[in-house]
Amino acid sequence: MKEVAQEEQVFPPPEEFKRKAWVTDESVYDEAEDYQSFWEKRAEELVDWYQKWDQVLEKDPPYYKWFINGKLNISYNCLDRWIERGQGDKIAYLWEGEEGEAEEYTYRDLYREVNRFANVLKDRGVKKGDVVAIYLPMVPELPIAMLACARIGAPHTVVFAGFSAGSLRDRVIDAGAKHVITCDGYTRRGKMLDHKSKSDEAVDGLDVQCIVVKRGNNQVNMQEGRDFWWHELMEEAEEECEPQVMDAEDLLFLMYTSGTTGKPKGVMHTTGGYLVGVATTMKWVFDVKDDDVYWCTADIGWITGHSYIVYGPLALGVTSVMFEGTPDYPQPDRWWEIVEKYGVTILYTAPTAIRMCMKLGEQWVDKRDVSSLRLLGSVGEPINPEAWLWYHRVVGKGKCPIVDTWWMTETGMHIITPLPGITNLKPGSATRPFPGLKGEIRDAKGVVPQGQKGDLVISRPWPSMLRGLYNAHDKYVEEYWSKYGPERYFTGDGAIQDEDGYFWLLGRVGDVLNVAGHRLGTAEVESALVEHPAVAESAVVGIPHELKGQVPFAYVVLRKGYQGSDDLKKELIKHVSKVIGPTARPDDVLFVEDLPKTRSGKIMRRILKNIASGEQEIGDITTLKNPEIVDDIARKLRP
Ligand code: 7RM
């Protein structure tokens, strides 16, 4: 039985790419074995400090501090220094709104807006250490507000705009935020969303003040004494605001994320180490050069947007595209139109989006000139080889390396990732730990033999690692540092290492099944299913079975032109059995229109598992982007 459905094909870096890449020599891995001096060099090379650190790393497991007594300001590193170096007229953001509105922000423009808003915050009484909640869609005011907070030393907590009032309220309360930055409304696929009503509901009865960006021009209720228009406050604001000198270990932001339990936890990231980690990976993994046009399609409300739309690109003085809309509005070629229009050279997106584009059909990509692309990236979940190959062939025209970057909110930066100028790529593998990092596959008995599944553990500290969970010490220890001790970070992901030392991610450990004593990743079965020409997307969950303990149950979304039938069901079951082995045979296949997904595109397998297992309680569906699909699926299964 084949353990993982792997593609045998290997893709070495194209010569042309290799010639110009920042990293061209394998020796970086050896040099970085002395990881403290490796990170120290990066800190000297990529970041400007007011005062140098006395010590690179201070270990007090499971707490780690980096660049002890180093002093810096992140907004200075993202803005002021580029202007001082004569790059003030370079474009920082090429912003495009959903309806096609376009705005350009040079580094100087961004500097001016950030300084003004920093003064607004100060005038409103925000001081160093005060947490500010930001609840905005993908408008320029979002990065401006984040950088303004960083400038005055106020940690931000950005709450994804698609989240409910209840989610915002929980976070505002947990973080103790006294200021919320929100907007009137915005459109999604052409439909106006009344954002202000949601934030009003969230802050109702709390001791909070709101600054409201005018975006939708929809009718809103401004509460006297609580609500203030952004543009009115900005009118009187001074254009210079001295950056606050921050300690390397001062809190930069909180990012709430869900763990094993329902209640989200505030992951803490600090200033110095976070910037060093993010700037280094931005440069080495995306291989960014002065003339690149870089586009990360994530929302800034997620860690991907924090690290690789805001802090990473700006810390390197890069030009980025920032897009407010969705890939298929008003037409399924919207993304490719943007690539063509701005001459995007680096595209960073998620497997779920790639599979959606596959489903829409490659003619939409072919309609546009995407020849400016030179590097592609993937993040968020394991990318199945079929999607990888499609991305490589249709979007990358066979000439762009793909960096499949494995990392998490908690890691702050890429952890397992190719370096595009030297790594031989294998479709579906995130390849190797970044220089200076150490990944291991472990179980209760220790490091598992090569080729076997286990838990992915990071057994060396890195500068942008989380510093804790806000007001939740016990959870921090329990969630990450208990299973393998206080010096081995437990990721919660399963993985397998192949004969070349490459890591193959298998999804969250919770998604690992045990079928008659065989461990089986739901992602493996999904990958096998999507290799079949009829399948666009699938989600596999484990359901209880009398004899085998658990068996896989498959939800399948078919490609256009295919109809669900008993014959096709049998064919798919046979196909999985052939690709992985008989233990992986789905017990049943249910054809569905769509899968329940979070706003960031992650399939909510927990809900699907409960439906398939016939549980009375389906679970919380409030964080879904398409909650209506849950009823449809349940009715299909039990009409
Ligand atoms: C960046 C981000 C983290 C979880 C993580 C994994 C999964 C992310 C990949 C991946 C396989 C990848 N942060 N994940 N990237 N799995 N290959 N390249 O997504 O905190 O929102 O999620 O996402 O399971 O634990 S996150």
- pLDDT for residue 1: 31
Query: What pLDDT is attached to residue 619?
Result: 80
> What is the residue with the minimal CA distance to atom 8 of ligand 1?
380
Q: Tell which one of 307, 381, 383, 402 to mutate to probe ligand 1, the residue whose CB is within 8 A of the most ligand atoms.
A: 381
The confidence score (pLDDT) of residue 517 equals: 62
Pocket, ligand 1, Cβ cutoff 6 A: 257, 302-304, 378-382, 404-409, 430, 491-493, 505, 507-508
Cα(42)–Cα(37) distance, rounded to whole angstroms?
9
> Residues of CATH 3.30.300.30 domain(s) within the chain?
516-637
Distance of CA 10 to the CA centre of its chain: 26
Residue-wise pLDDT for 550-609, tens only, equals 899 999 999 999 999 999 999 999 999 888 877 789 999 999 999 999 888 888 888 999
Q: How far apart are CA 76 and CA 271, in angstroms?
A: 12
Strands 319-323 and 293-296, bridge-based pairing: parallel
In the chain, pLDDT over 70 holds for what percent of residues?
A: 97
Distance 407 CA to ligand 1 centre (A): 5
CB atoms within 10 A of CB 337: 17
Rounded CA-CA distance 608/595 in Å is 8
Q: Which of 285-299, 378-392, 452-466 has the lowest mean pLDDT?
A: 378-392
Percent over 90 (pLDDT), the chain:
82
Nearest residue by C-alpha to atom 13 in ligand 1 = 408
For position 513, what pLDDT does the model report? 75
Tell how far the Cα of 459 is from the centroid of ligand 1, in angstroms.
18
The whole-angstrom distance between residue 438's C-alpha and the CA centroid of its chain comes to 21
Res. 541 pLDDT band, cuts 50 70 90: very high
pLDDT per residue over 146-156, tens digit each? 999 999 999 99
SS3 for 361-390 is: CCHHHHCCCCCCCCEEEECCCCCCHHHHHH
Residue range 160-185: mean pLDDT, rounded: 93
How is residue 390 written in tokens?
A: 């499609």
Ligand 1: centre distance to CA 585 (Å): 26
**Mean pLDDT, residues 247-266 taken together:** 82
42 pLDDT exceeds 90?
Answer: yes
d(CA 403, CA 77): 26
Q: What is the pLDDT of residue 512?
A: 67
- pLDDT (average), residues 368-396: 95
Helix, strand and coil percent figures for the chain, each rounded to 5: 30, 25, 45
* CA nearest ligand 1 atom 18, residue: 406
Residue nearest to atom 2 of ligand 1 (CA): 408
Cα 105 from Cα 108, distance rounded (Å): 8
Instruction: Indicate the fold that domain 516-637 takes in CATH.
Output: GMP Synthetase; Chain A, domain 3 (3.30.300)
Q: What is the CATH number of domain 2-478+486-495?
A: 3.40.50.12780
Averaged pLDDT of the chain? 94
CB atoms within 10 A of CB 630: 19
Distance of alpha carbon 639 from alpha carbon 632, whole angstroms: 10
81 CB-near residues (< 8 Å, 6+ apart): 48
Mean pLDDT of all residues in 390-409? 97
Instruction: Output the residue whose Cα is nearest ligand 1's atom 19.
Output: 380
pLDDT digits (tens, 9 = 90+) for 472-487: 999 999 989 999 999 9
Q: How far apart are CA 215 and CA 374, in angstroms?
A: 34
CA of 531 to the centre of ligand 1 (A): 22
Ligand 1 centroid, distance to 413 Cα (angstroms):
11
For residue 258, the tally of other CB atoms under 10 A from its CB is: 14
Q: What is the pLDDT of residues 405-448, one digit of tens each?
A: 999 999 999 999 999 999 999 999 999 999 999 999 999 999 99
Q: What is the mean pLDDT of residues 284-299?
A: 97
State pLDDT tens for residues 228-256: 999 999 999 999 999 999 999 999 999 99
From the CA of 508, give the closest atom in ligand 1: 24
Residues 6+ apart with CB under 8 A from 501: 432
Cα end-to-end distance, the chain, whole Å: 37
Question: How far is the C-alpha of 460 from the C-alpha of 16, rounded, in Å?
Answer: 34
pLDDT of residue 620: 81
* 476 token code pair: 């921090």
> What pLDDT was estimated at residue 377?
98
pLDDT at 263: 64
Cβ-based neighbours of 405, under 8 Å, separated by 6 or more? 285, 377, 378, 379, 414, 416, 417, 430
Q: Cα separation of 384 and 377, whole Å? A: 14
Distance in Å, CA 305 to ligand 1 centroid: 13
Task: Encode pLDDT of 499-535 as tens digits.
Answer: 999 999 987 777 667 787 676 778 888 988 998 999 9
Which residue out of 406, 489, 504 has the highest number of ligand 1 atoms within 8 Å of its CB and is therefore the one to mutate? 406
What is the rounded average pLDDT of the residues 55-71? 98
Considering only CA atoms, which residue is closest to atom 12 of ligand 1? 406
What integer pLDDT is reported at residue 6 of this predicted model?
Answer: 47
Q: H/E/C letters for each residue in 325-367? A: CCCCCCCCCHHHHHHHHHCCCEEEECHHHHHHHHHHCCHHHHC
**Per-residue pLDDT for 342 more than 90?**
yes
pLDDT value of position 398: 97
At 521 the pLDDT is: 76
Residue 583 DSSP symbol: G
Sequence length of the chain is: 639
User: Which pLDDT score, from 0 to 100, does residue 259 have?
Assistant: 58
How much distance in Å is there from the Cα of 32 to the middle of ligand 1? Answer: 24
Which of 109, 81, 156, 124 has its CA nearest to residue 237? 124
> CATH 3.40.50.12780 in the chain, residues?
2-478+486-495
- Stretch 363-389: mean pLDDT: 95
